[in-house]
Structure 1
């Protein structure tokens, strides 16, 4: 296995490709519509626009290219843009548009410790060969670094991050929506990575972890950046794959759409929940207060059953509307492949 330090060449190329595909086509000829109007002086606000299909999204981006901030092509057909009141009204009436919602602040959810006993290593599965994408605040790469968290779920005082619990070269920075290096200056993403795949206490101690940074150093980020992270994962996830999204944006229609599309593509999506229950969404993503542990359990299963789809995984984890508890001893399922 090639040594992964920082951003591997494969992911560097993928990130560059994503930047090209999501950048606004400055050379695009103006299309009819809002962009052809004279400039206006009304105040604008940021919004997320979800469109019916890619062709419609591409056309609308062409019409509004001067204010489009992000263009999504994989997580959902749509874009992030700035609109004034009259433009918002006109775009809302456009038949190509499915929904418009304000871009807003996104914060991480608490990392809840599991009360379940550790699965015995006799199950053989450790998550080896599975990649878990941590959509969060990035991750610290095997060095000591100080940070002061602005996250209310963290301590709020200056802390020190040391080498992430034996993750070593299994952890790398895959994508950074904030335009930085992927390093975790908040601490939340590193803690999630440790809970998923730390060698001492992680649920899947041999899984690979790809850090997808969408949060800043203050412990928060934007919905548009979170969607950019999911857009990247949807384009570049390597099967078998799990995505852990411990963010508070579950009430966002655009984010739910992006997670559902990711789940339908074959990536097992685990999102954080503020309740103790584990539930499976009708659109395929799974919600749990112990999302990192559930992501690790999914990685263990995928090691032995790499072709399993998310619904099979959810069934094995007993995570459905009528069965709300996570199986405490999954050894039989890991040996036989049956719940």
Structure 2
């Protein structure tokens, strides 16, 4: 089941649907077929599956230096020898061509010594200071999820061009201020000639559509990259590259044609955004993106919405690109977001408001990693504006190393970095340091015991507040001792959390690494803090260089949230009585800690009494914070992310949580979910706004 712009879970327990118009998906291909007996054996990759377009192939050549004319000439020769019709020629991002031919012809061609490989064409689908900005922008200029209703940006990116490979752009939308144009259309190109000559121009052309986008996905993405109100880089030049049609569908042939055009025509410095992808790997698409990056264009790629390892998807797995996962308003990984070692950074991707295509003034809210990626593309444009000669790797590394470490909850093996823009003050509360040397947390047992990396979990003794110490430095205040960590005797003695005030020996510089880890450099002696692998020796600022023992992962604590009823505008409170939305402000009784269960499910622990919220009597009675431990009936999930920024909660009985039509009743999970209704059969009484508390 699919809902335009909004992601929805299925009604089947344990499963979730992550394919939406905000991310591109295709069916899995099958096993390659062998060549006929009368030719050399060769494999046509992925020649089966429902996503395959019959009779159309992409031919990739071995000569990566071949020119357009030579590729065209070779394609013409192949057609004369083996039959078929050439459709499009690629010579920038990919060296090869697409053609119409039958399976036998493709098998013969795959065996040719000049051919690297042959793939079937697949059908794809779209998967300064600003006051009161959209929440995603507000999140970019601060260390924590608590928003301050401003977005400070270092420049506007006006010296940079951003290419949006998508469904096109409504160039007339007022949020673009005349900075948006359509550059290339791979969906409606001129018809191919039946017998191409080496001098024929490449297929494709400028979109004839009056506005440039008949779907909306591309306009929304472009607005997040560079809209005046909704965008990260408010002065960037935007160029639409249409590779998906009005229904959000396209083919690998069309997407590669778009990448090829960008590679050949980009005005640099340039960034490209691809909020599309696949649930399988496509070597030709990966190669095209990789070669385009090598030409000097920075790419931001959506990780995908399939709750799977991004390393198994294309083009998200391309290591030279910036692959982006999605987070929600409280810095949790969005339940739909792909994950894994191929991710480079997380960015806001839930209920993101941006420009809409069917109005020159309107806006709409979408969710998906498609919405997270353009935040990064905009941030890349800001970096290139200030550093126009930077190469894509420099841009990628800066985005990763300046991202907030340890900000994202439930990373599922991904790098723990949250996108940031500009210079921000590193102040946070309750974070832990996990030593890379042995995977244990740094413990401050008392004011008389030195720090040791021996903690098995993130408890009170393993938590620290980051306090601004000025000049880009921080001080670490232990949650267990309430004292600052110091490097005594000019750093010659072990670190200990014993000092009441921030002195010179309590100041450290956090150094972010591209692998997601951090190091601590002591101000007192200029040396790096080391954590021995044994876990029995103490930490000391004693190393002049950085190795594995000088690296740490910063671990985020479980988010503390408030829950506000959309219907009543009041905050939900807990205690000895059932949950009810009755408070006009966020007090302790209105705060809940999210405890991760996995796969998007979580428990809610009330700060008022330290107990878990339970759907009492198997959901037949109101929710109440009364459980000492977490079980089946203490499990919830965000059923849906709504365009207005609200969420629906679901309990274990597969019912939506409701506060009544006016939002004044005790919360209970008793609302039936109508899966084939656009609003799920739910109303205001079931809508809640979740914010960091």
Q: TM-score, normalised by structure 2?
A: 0.36
- State the alpha-carbon separation in 2 of the partners of residues 263 and 311 from structure 1: 9
What is the DSSP-based 3-state SS (H/G/I as helix, E as strand, rest coil) of the residue aligned with 1:104? Answer: strand
Structure 1 residue 328 and structure 2 residue 420: aligned? yes
Q: CA deviation at 1:140?
A: 0.7
Q: CA deviation at 1:129?
A: 1.1
- State the alpha-carbon separation in 1 of the partners of residues 318 and 246 from structure 2: 34
Aligned counterpart for 1:83 among listed residues 78, 92, 101: 101
Q: CA deviation at 1:329?
A: 4.9
Change in Cα spacing, 1:278 to 1:219, as seen in structure 2 (3 Å) is: closer
Structure 1 residue 259 and structure 2 residue 289: aligned? yes
- Aligned residue for 2:253? 224
Task: Work out whether residues 135 and 243 of structure 1, in 8 Å CA contact, stay in contact via their aligned partners in 2.
Answer: yes
- State the alpha-carbon separation in 2 of the partners of residues 278 and 300 from structure 1: 26
What is the DSSP-based 3-state SS (H/G/I as helix, E as strand, rest coil) of the residue aligned with 2:208? Answer: coil
What is the DSSP-based 3-state SS (H/G/I as helix, E as strand, rest coil) of the residue aligned with 2:181? Answer: strand
Structure 1 residue 268 and structure 2 residue 298: aligned? yes
Q: CA deviation at 1:114?
A: 3.9
Structure 1 residue 315 and structure 2 residue 351: aligned? no
Change in Cα spacing, 1:324 to 1:257, as seen in structure 2 (3 Å) is: farther
- State the alpha-carbon separation in 2 of the partners of residues 301 and 278 from structure 1: 25
Change in Cα spacing, 1:93 to 1:262, as seen in structure 2 (3 Å) is: same
- Aligned residue for 2:263? 234
- State the alpha-carbon separation in 2 of the partners of residues 168 and 123 from structure 1: 18
User: How big is the alpha-carbon RMSD for the aligned residues of Structure 1 and Structure 2?
Assistant: 3.1
Change in Cα spacing, 1:98 to 1:116, as seen in structure 2 (3 Å) is: farther
Change in Cα spacing, 1:258 to 1:201, as seen in structure 2 (3 Å) is: same
Q: CA deviation at 1:324?
A: 4.2
Q: CA deviation at 1:124?
A: 2.5
Structure 1 residue 168 and structure 2 residue 177: aligned? yes
- Aligned residue for 2:139? 117
Q: TM-score, normalised by structure 1?
A: 0.72
Structure 1 residue 178 and structure 2 residue 187: aligned? yes
User: Aligned ranges for residues 99-118 of structure 1 at < 5 Å?
Assistant: 99-109=117-127, 114=136, 117-118=139-140
User: Aligned ranges for residues 278-293 of structure 1 at < 5 Å?
Assistant: 283-288=319-324, 289=369, 290-293=372-375
Structure 1 residue 245 and structure 2 residue 274: aligned? yes
Q: CA deviation at 1:178?
A: 2.0
Structure 1 residue 63 and structure 2 residue 81: aligned? no
What is the DSSP-based 3-state SS (H/G/I as helix, E as strand, rest coil) of the residue aligned with 1:255? Answer: helix
- Aligned residue for 2:221? 192
Task: Work out whether residues 278 and 325 of structure 1, in 8 Å CA contact, stay in contact via their aligned partners in 2.
Answer: no
Stretches of structure 2 that go unaligned for 5 or more consecutive residues are 1-53, 128-134, 142-149, 189-206, 325-368, 404-412, 426-471, 473-510, 513-693
Q: Which of the pair is proportionally richer in strand?
A: 2
- State the alpha-carbon separation in 2 of the partners of residues 85 and 322 from structure 1: 40
**114-123 or 173-182, which moves further after superposition?**
114-123
Q: CA deviation at 1:328?
A: 2.9
- State the alpha-carbon separation in 2 of the partners of residues 322 and 272 from structure 1: 14
Task: Work out whether residues 177 and 228 of structure 2, in 8 Å CA contact, stay in contact via their aligned partners in 1.
Answer: no
What is the DSSP-based 3-state SS (H/G/I as helix, E as strand, rest coil) of the residue aligned with 2:183? Answer: strand
What is the DSSP-based 3-state SS (H/G/I as helix, E as strand, rest coil) of the residue aligned with 1:216? Answer: coil
- Aligned residue for 1:129? 159
What is the DSSP-based 3-state SS (H/G/I as helix, E as strand, rest coil) of the residue aligned with 1:102? Answer: strand
* Residue deviations 1:124-155 (CA, integer Å, cap 9, x gap): 3221111000001011121xxxxxxxxxxxxx
Q: CA deviation at 1:103?
A: 0.3
**264-273 or 323-332, which moves further after superposition?**
323-332
Q: CA deviation at 1:231?
A: 1.0
- Aligned residue for 2:236? 207
Q: CA deviation at 1:57?
A: 3.6
- Aligned residue for 1:50? 60
Q: CA deviation at 1:101?
A: 1.1
Task: Work out whether residues 138 and 173 of structure 1, in 8 Å CA contact, stay in contact via their aligned partners in 2.
Answer: yes
* Residue deviations 1:82-133 (CA, integer Å, cap 9, x gap): 2222212211111211121110112222xxx848614366543221111000
What is the DSSP-based 3-state SS (H/G/I as helix, E as strand, rest coil) of the residue aligned with 1:184? Answer: coil
Aligned counterpart for 2:387 among listed residues 288, 291, 305: 305
Change in Cα spacing, 1:221 to 1:202, as seen in structure 2 (3 Å) is: same
The higher relative CO (CA closer than 8 Å, separation ≥ 6) is in: 1
What is the DSSP-based 3-state SS (H/G/I as helix, E as strand, rest coil) of the residue aligned with 1:81? Answer: strand
Q: Which of the pair is proportionally richer in helix?
A: 1
- Aligned residue for 2:429? none
Structure 1 residue 95 and structure 2 residue 113: aligned? yes
- State the alpha-carbon separation in 1 of the partners of residues 392 and 102 from structure 2: 40
Task: Work out whether residues 278 and 324 of structure 1, in 8 Å CA contact, stay in contact via their aligned partners in 2.
Answer: no
Q: CA deviation at 1:323?
A: 4.1
